[in-house]
Structure 1
Amino acid sequence: MSAMLSVDEKQAGDLTAAEREAWRAFTAGGRDLASPYFTLGFLDAAASARRDVRVLVIRRGGSVTGFLPLHAGFMGHARPLGGPLGDHHGLIAEPGSDIALSDVLKAGGVGLFSFFGALGGQGAFAPHALARDGSWVMDLSEGFEAYADARAAVEPKAFRNLRARRRKLESAEGGFEFRIDDRREDVFAAALAWKSAQYRRTGVFDAFSVRWTRDLLKALRHQDDCRLLVSSLEIGGKLAAAHVGMRSAQVLHYWFPVYDPEFSAVGPGLSLLLEIASAMPGEGVREIHLGPGDFMFKQHLGSWQFALLSGFAGQGAPLAVQRAARALELRAERLPLGPVSRLPGKAFRRIDVMAGFHAA
């Protein structure tokens, strides 16, 4: 490790004005850090919702060269900012930075850092990655019509179906109403209640059964550079679909979509997403990040993907145990055992997700 590198661990509220200005300068440097996940607003909202939020402030020669926001856990085990709700994470630093993640963690006293959605374009994470994924992006930089034409040329059948659903929506009894920025409390409450019911119905851990996740969303309603955005679609005067997302100046993160199955014939969830995409360029948004996953709608609507990495970094015995566990998981998933081969991986991931939700 270079003798010039030093790391200070701070709470979000203890960052100086100069450090915050450096953070803003790094995130303004290009597309890679344009996501709302990398804003000071998301950091501050997370810090208000959870007591374990910390920032590793990285310096060389006395000058700030980067930040690593995280959740400081038990016995030196840290996780990326946002915990299981943090789809994207990474270093807040200049593009092409040569910061070594292991050096930062050692200097910051972190024994183990487990990541699952680190930016693949950041070289700091590549030496520690055990798996690669991709996050889908709807590219609206040339406007919605240009986006739709480009995707329809690649996925003509999918877009014919989407246009047919739009016609059904337009002919629905009682008409429909779309709100891009719906601030009604009953809509926000209904969206979270529907999402909790969906989680329970599908056997997925209910993200809103722990207090800090709700507190995080509420805190995001009062941020400037990272703002909660609730959008809604009503059909015949009744709420049919809602989306709870967050946006920065140029990126909307597609986060918690939900719809009423009563309106499934018109595909209210996808209809709402396309209404949002149509409105966003007028709001200054150039991209909608759909996140990772092999869902068909993401493949149809996504213009391209950016790489995400998962793995572990750190030092000592905890790192060795985690890497061995992950290696076992990957080997098991390669065996020709059908669905059974995925059981170890599912178990490990479920344990880690549960730990992340309850670590606050």
Structure 2
Amino acid sequence: MRVTVALPRELGNTELSRWRALQESDPAFDNPFLSPEFTVTVGELRDVVRVAVLYDGPEIVGFFPFERHPLGIGKPVAAGLTDAQGLVHAKDLEIDVRRLIKDCGLAVYEFDHLVSGQPLLNDRHERYPSPIIDLRDGYERYTATLKEHSGKTYKTTLAKSRKLQRDAGTLRHDFAITDVGPLRTLLGWKTDQYRRTGRTDRFAHRWIVELVERLLATRSESFAGVLDMIYVDDQPVAGHFGVRTRTTLAGWFPAYDTQFAKYSPGLIHHLAMAEQAAADGIQMIDMGRGDKEYKDKLKNGELEVAEGRVATASPAAGVHWMMRVPVRKTRATVMANPILLKTADKALKTYGRLRTVVQR
């Protein structure tokens, strides 16, 4: 096995075509965050992005996109934003994982959404469910499942949609639009949500805003940015921006105008998005790891992702363990305990309200 490391922009058409072929050869890799277009676009904005190209003789057998940070700390591309991470590789590939990490110039590689079936996985890594909307049997079959398992949610959402239209006007859904204006409206709602709930505002980082804008303009046969919005009487109510392969849409940035909160606009939008996505060839909407009420109400299946790290025997890896592993385990304990999670969420929202008052 031979490994070369390159900047994303240094990959030629041969390498990019091989990457797409490997990705499409295994359903486990059918996520746009594992697509070459995503890594190349992030690499245009962040100089820490690298791609390891794996060879078996003259044949390329894998691609490992990552970020290289100081002290040899490796992270997934756009770490903290992506819901699918890992190595895109040929079937039954056997590798020495620590040698790969070393060949990449890393002391440690840390991940939190590693997809299943990875050579990077071992028994020590924690596994978590990643809820999905499975549309392989069509939208009507999906809604039939909702009626069976989340009947109250489905009926209530339809009733609120009718009430919203009675109160505010005709509902319109625009799917896969390319206008940057609605995108900025959506990002404004999302920023408000981050601040209101005490979370860090991702869009305070200019590179993330530019990344989303560039992805919105990206269109290929196997990858695209997807923006969709619902309106009442031409007033934007809710929307979502994500990225897609031919058959998978990654849920990424959903948000809504809080003045319509009593109508559950997020649920109304997700049902409209699922219907149009199914009509457009999408077979799965990956909503991403995380315990959110709307995900629990809408899901009809789950994937599995892993969290952990792969490390070499080095001082940098030891320092990284002391700084990161106890924190990660504490967070996992809180997330797994409903009482602790509710308390933490309440504290964050209180902080968000106080921060908003101070800023005003």
Please say whether Structure 1 and Structure 2 have the same fold, judged by a TM-score greater than 0.5. Answer: yes
Aligned AA (1:218): E
Instruction: For residue 278 of structure 1, report the CA deviation from its aligned partner.
Output: 0.5
Partner of 1:358: none
1:57-206 matches, within 5 Å, as 57-127=53-123, 129=125, 131-206=126-201
The whole-number CA distance in structure 2 between the counterparts of 1:254 and 1:171 is 29
Which of residues 207, 216, 222 in structure 2 aligns to 1:221? 216
Instruction: Tell whether 2:44 aligns with 1:56.
Output: no
The whole-number CA distance in structure 2 between the counterparts of 1:307 and 1:100 is 23
Instruction: For residue 327 of structure 1, report the CA deviation from its aligned partner.
Output: 4.9
Partner of 1:245: 242
Instruction: For residue 89 of structure 1, report the CA deviation from its aligned partner.
Output: 0.6
Instruction: Tell whether 2:216 aligns with 1:232.
Output: no
The whole-number CA distance in structure 1 between the counterparts of 2:248 and 2:289 is 16
The whole-number CA distance in structure 2 between the counterparts of 1:151 and 1:320 is 47
Is the Cα–Cα contact under 8 Å of residues 120 and 126 in structure 1 kept in the other structure? no
CA change 1:230–1:331 in 2 (3 A) is closer
Q: TM-score, normalised by structure 1?
A: 0.87
1:38-88 deviation per Cα after TM superposition (whole angstroms, max 9, x unaligned):
111111111112111110111222321111101111121111012211121
Is the Cα–Cα contact under 8 Å of residues 6 and 107 in structure 1 kept in the other structure? no
Instruction: For residue 20 of structure 1, report the CA deviation from its aligned partner.
Output: 1.8
Is the Cα–Cα contact under 8 Å of residues 189 and 255 in structure 2 kept in the other structure? yes
The whole-number CA distance in structure 1 between the counterparts of 2:70 and 2:106 is 10
1:298-309 matches, within 5 Å, as 298-309=295-306
CA change 1:307–1:96 in 2 (3 A) is farther
CA change 1:86–1:222 in 2 (3 A) is same
Which of residues 268, 271, 294 in structure 2 aligns to 1:297? 294
Aligned AA (2:168): E
Is the Cα–Cα contact under 8 Å of residues 128 and 289 in structure 2 kept in the other structure? yes
CA change 1:181–1:20 in 2 (3 A) is closer
CA change 1:49–1:197 in 2 (3 A) is same
1:306-350 deviation per Cα after TM superposition (whole angstroms, max 9, x unaligned):
1111111121122233334555343697599x749x99xx9xxxx
Partner of 2:320: 322
Structure 1: tracts of 5 or more residues without a match: 347-360
Is the Cα–Cα contact under 8 Å of residues 160 and 264 in structure 2 kept in the other structure? yes
Instruction: For residue 250 of structure 1, report the CA deviation from its aligned partner.
Output: 0.7
The whole-number CA distance in structure 1 between the counterparts of 2:253 and 2:279 is 22
The whole-number CA distance in structure 1 between the counterparts of 2:182 and 2:217 is 18
1:270-319 deviation per Cα after TM superposition (whole angstroms, max 9, x unaligned):
11111010111111111001001111221221111111111111211222
Is the Cα–Cα contact under 8 Å of residues 48 and 219 in structure 1 kept in the other structure? no
SS in 2 for 1:32: helix
Say how many residue pairs are matched. Answer: 337
SS in 2 for 1:87: coil
Aligned AA (1:219): R
Percent of pairs with identical residues: 25
Partner of 1:354: none
Which of residues 37, 47, 55 in structure 2 aligns to 1:41? 37
Aligned AA (1:168): K
Aligned AA (1:318): A
1:240-283 deviation per Cα after TM superposition (whole angstroms, max 9, x unaligned):
11211111111111111111111112211111111010111111
CA change 1:197–1:133 in 2 (3 A) is same
1:142-167 deviation per Cα after TM superposition (whole angstroms, max 9, x unaligned):
11000110232122222222222233
CA change 1:209–1:162 in 2 (3 A) is same
Is the Cα–Cα contact under 8 Å of residues 98 and 124 in structure 1 kept in the other structure? no
SS in 1 for 2:177: coil
Structure 2: tracts of 5 or more residues without a match: 348-360
The whole-number CA distance in structure 1 between the counterparts of 2:289 and 2:252 is 11
Aligned AA (1:271): I
Is the Cα–Cα contact under 8 Å of residues 172 and 235 in structure 1 kept in the other structure? no
The whole-number CA distance in structure 1 between the counterparts of 2:35 and 2:48 is 18
Aligned AA (1:191): L
Q: TM-score, normalised by structure 2?
A: 0.87
CA change 1:184–1:62 in 2 (3 A) is closer
Instruction: For residue 127 of structure 1, report the CA deviation from its aligned partner.
Output: 4.8
1:173-193 deviation per Cα after TM superposition (whole angstroms, max 9, x unaligned):
321211112333321111112
The whole-number CA distance in structure 1 between the counterparts of 2:122 and 2:159 is 44
Partner of 2:355: none
